[in-house]
Amino acid sequence: MVNLEMYNNEVELICNELGINQKKLAELIGVSQNTVSSWKNEKLGLPNWTKNVFQLLRERQECLEFKKVFSKLQLAK
């Protein structure tokens, strides 16, 4: 896991970890791009629920990466 200290805030960190932009993050979690931008620019504080949602997105990403590796292993047989 990447260290939050390398990024200005949690929004930059999650976008970097998932390889997505703020627009895609907004789509994934069902908020407007302006909301995500406000979180990133610290005009709005992150709601408590975002910690859980960001963790779920991280776990989803890990599952997708595992699936890719597993598929490659199956093809190699």
CATH number, domain containing residue 34: 1.10.260
Q: Please report, for residues 29, 67, 70, 74, the alpha-carbon distance to residue 36 in angstroms, rounded to integers and kept in the order given.
A: 10, 29, 33, 39
Question: What is the mean pLDDT of the segment spanning 32-51?
Answer: 93
pLDDT at 7 over 80: no
Counted domains in the chain: 1
pLDDT at 3 over 90: no
Q: How far is CA 28 from the centre of its chain?
A: 9
Residue 14 contacts residue 4 (beta carbons within 8 Å): no
Report d(CA 74, CA 29) in Å as an integer. 32
Residue-range definition of the domain harbouring residue 25: 4-76
Question: What is the mean pLDDT of the segment spanning 24-48?
Answer: 94
pLDDT of residue 70: 87
Residue 75 contacts residue 50 (beta carbons within 8 Å): no
The reply to whether the predicted model has a pTM over 0.85 is: no
